[in-house]
A and B are shown apart, each in its own frame.
Chain A
């Protein structure tokens, strides 16, 4: 298990490989469909973003509401391909990593390689478990979007898997391939 702390630098991620299990600590931001649309609209107009993207990580999540006395509700990843139309522009603007679930389009993989970024996966549907790693949550932009607002999260040992590393190696291709080859070898 590899321990990693934000902000991510080229140095910290250059040795991470698709398939590595990571425990992430530090500050990350949440954004999903609606917030991405707004961020990219601002970028297109050349306006300032409500958050600084350089070396940061965006977690594709719309958490459930926090119960009284709790930091956050359940908070697992949403499906990432819906953010594919926006992700390359954010990577070009300095974003280092993304956390979501599911495979990405070619344009995102290319943008990851170009910007030496990476794509983590959190296990989909284990949202109660993942919420345990979130120690602080505050809305920092687009409060009107409710669960889709941008939140700044403080996480400790958030369990992630490197799905696409900075060289473009993709666990969605290699994982299944390795399993099938292994099965064939055993047959």
Chain B
């Protein structure tokens, strides 16, 4: 029988079989392998955009204690890279952001299990610390750093991208969320972000990266703040208004004088990244997710 690909699927004789037969297939083993490698690489190698900002700020810092600390941070980056060892002993709980094309068919297993298997293998083979407990109150370690916190986004096409972001809890613990009133406006948002950074002080290992989510719902805004941390520090918000707000917040945070590790200095934050989403007429949700100077993420595309 004549077989031919056509727009709607596969043409067999006179019958069109739906395009599922034609979908791009991605094997779970491939996903596991990609996650495993990304977990190790993210923990050994600082992203280049973060390294460049640290380098620049080191050149601009004038307070001796702050300069000294930034120098140690730079040395640590080199040692970790050369010896393939974790930059920080807290190799984090892993967040995975999956962007999956609607024309992709995952084969040979279960996507979620494939991702967790990658985390398991990466943390075992990479000599990374297992920091996840099975139950928040009855705290027994899972001993393999699973499960990861996985976010899925379905997009048109047949691409498959993942951002793997292991994040320590020194900074995660300093994150905040508040449902502001619409009347609180821009100033309310700014005050809340500054207050969160001020209260965090030395705990999240400054210089920090500040991820800010504005809008959406209670759950959405937290996710926006986390997503903001995954944007490279070299990229700014596409919207002029929010780009300016990012600049203003960064400037105000670096006026606080907290400095590296909280001992004074102008380098409190490396960047402020804002992500927004439409929200309800009655609300103005805002969330602040703080990251330490070991701002880890690794993007992979299959």
> Would you give the shortest CB distance from A179 to chain B, in whole angstroms?
3
Would A175 and B130 count as touching, CB distance under 8 A? no
Would B257 and A183 count as touching, CB distance under 8 A? yes
Would B264 and A179 count as touching, CB distance under 8 A? yes
Would A146 and B130 count as touching, CB distance under 8 A? yes
What 0/1 pattern do residues 43 to 80 of A give for CB contact below 8 A with B? 00000000000000000011111110000011110110
Would B259 and A64 count as touching, CB distance under 8 A? no
User: Which residues of B line the A interface, CB within 8 A?
Assistant: 63, 65-66, 69, 72-73, 75-76, 79-80, 83, 85-91, 127-131, 139, 141, 143, 168, 170, 173, 201-203, 205, 257-259, 261-265, 292-294
Would A64 and B86 count as touching, CB distance under 8 A? yes
Would B127 and A128 count as touching, CB distance under 8 A? no
Q: Which residue of A lies closest to B79 (CB)?
A: A128
Would A101 and B202 count as touching, CB distance under 8 A? yes
Q: Which residues of B contact A124 (CB under 8 A)?
A: 88, 170, 205, 261, 292
Would A175 and B203 count as touching, CB distance under 8 A? no
Given A73-B86, A124-B205, A146-B130, A172-B262 contact (CB < 8 Å) = yes
Give Cα A125 to B88, complex, Å: 5
Given A78-B90, A175-B259, A125-B129 contact (CB < 8 Å) = no
Give Cα A119 to B18, complex, Å: 68
Q: Contact check: which of A63, A66, A179 meets B265 at CB < 8 Å?
A: A179
4 nearest A-B pairs in the assembled complex, by CB-CB distance: A179-B264, A175-B263, A126-B76, A124-B205
A6 close to chain B: CB less than 8 A: no
> Would you give the shortest CB distance from B229 to chain A, in whole angstroms?
15
Given A78-B170, A126-B72, A103-B86 contact (CB < 8 Å) = no
Would A74 and B203 count as touching, CB distance under 8 A? no
Q: Which residue of A lies closest to B202 (CB)?
A: A102
Q: Contact check: which of B69, B75, B89 meets A74 at CB < 8 Å?
A: B89
Give Cα A161 to B88, complex, Å: 19
20 additional A-B pairs beyond A65-B128, A124-B261, A125-B76, beta carbons within 8 Å, are: A61-B89, A64-B85, A73-B86, A73-B129, A74-B86, A74-B88, A78-B90, A79-B170, A123-B261, A125-B88, A125-B293, A128-B76, A128-B85, A146-B130, A147-B89, A161-B263, A172-B202, A172-B263, A175-B65, A179-B257
> Would you give the shortest CB distance from B133 to chain A, in whole angstroms?
10
Q: Which residue of B lies closest to A163 (CB)?
A: B263
Q: Which residue of A lies closest to B293 (CB)?
A: A125
Q: Which residues of A contact B63 (CB under 8 A)?
A: 179, 182
Q: Which residues of B contact A76 (CB under 8 A)?
A: 88-90
A171 close to chain B: CB less than 8 A: yes
Give Cα A121 to B69, complex, Å: 12
Would B85 and A103 count as touching, CB distance under 8 A? no
Q: Which residues of B contact A74 (CB under 8 A)?
A: 80, 85-89
